[in-house]
Structure 1
Amino acid sequence: MKRRHSLVLTAALGLMAASSARAESLRCNGSSTSEGESRLAVLYKCGEPLLKDSYCAPWVQAGTLQPLPSAYAAVVTPCQPVEEWVYDRGPGNLMATVRFKSGVVQSIVYGRAPQ
């Protein structure tokens, strides 16, 4: 009986891990765009976004979520350029925010309004 419960638990954990590792994609005009694609590819497939924003995000140390020390980061580079494009996918669909870092799609997030 314990073995059966452990198998069920293992299967459930495996499904949860697989679903959380899945990358989002954005469907536009019969094409699909996903993480790793360039700005040009997204623009070609999806057209001009409803909104665009760009800002400089602080660099983080490799393997951690800690920002680089200011003195070091300012010498190397002050920030990492980030762009966010918002697509309105029409009535009944959530808006999609596509985040680019160094000109490449890093994430696609769905929500009711840009954040």
Structure 2
Amino acid sequence: MRALLATLTFSFLLLPTTSDAATLRCGNNLVSDGASRSDVLLKCGEPMARESRTESVGEKTKQKTDESTTTTEHVVQKTIEEWTYNFGPQRLMQVAVFENGRLVDVRSGGYGR
């Protein structure tokens, strides 16, 4: 019996871990990577707080010709929004992070109130 228990425990440790996909559970609803803000509002309701900022990010593009490769860099503006959901004192608060209107990350905060 101990050998079986040890084997099962070891087997669970070898299972592949899930990727860092953004997933937010709101009651019976689930939203994940790529969800729009309207999808999240529909499934989770209004957040307790919203923060928004704009970031400038340099992006490089390469173009190959028959004889050479040229690299150009341009600045892209990204709108980052963080929505905080408070699901009560029994659950951790969740911060949904959007880039240009699409869900890209979900972070846990402290326990809600």
TM-score (ref. length: structure 2): 0.66
Structure 2 unmatched runs, 5+? 1-9, 61-72
Q: State percent identity of aligned pairs.
A: 32
- Which aligned pairs between 1:4-23 and structure 2 lie closer than 5 A? 12=14, 15=15, 18-19=16-17, 21-23=19-21
Q: Return the structure number with greater strand share.
A: 2
Q: In the comparison of the two structures, how many residue pairs are matched?
A: 88
Q: Tell me the residue number matched to 1:29.
A: 27
Give the Cα separation in 1 of the matches to 2:98 and 2:55: 11
Which one has the largest radius of gyration?
2
CA RMSD of aligned residues (A): 2.4
Give, in angstroms, the shift of residue 30 of structure 1: 1.3
Q: Return the structure number with greater helix share.
A: 1
Give the Cα separation in 2 of the matches to 1:39 and 1:106: 11
TM-score (ref. length: structure 1): 0.65
Change (3 A) 1:20 1:60: farther
1:7-30, Cα deviation, whole Å (9 max, x unpaired): x9xx85xx4xx4262424211131
Q: Tell me the residue number matched to 1:109.
A: 107
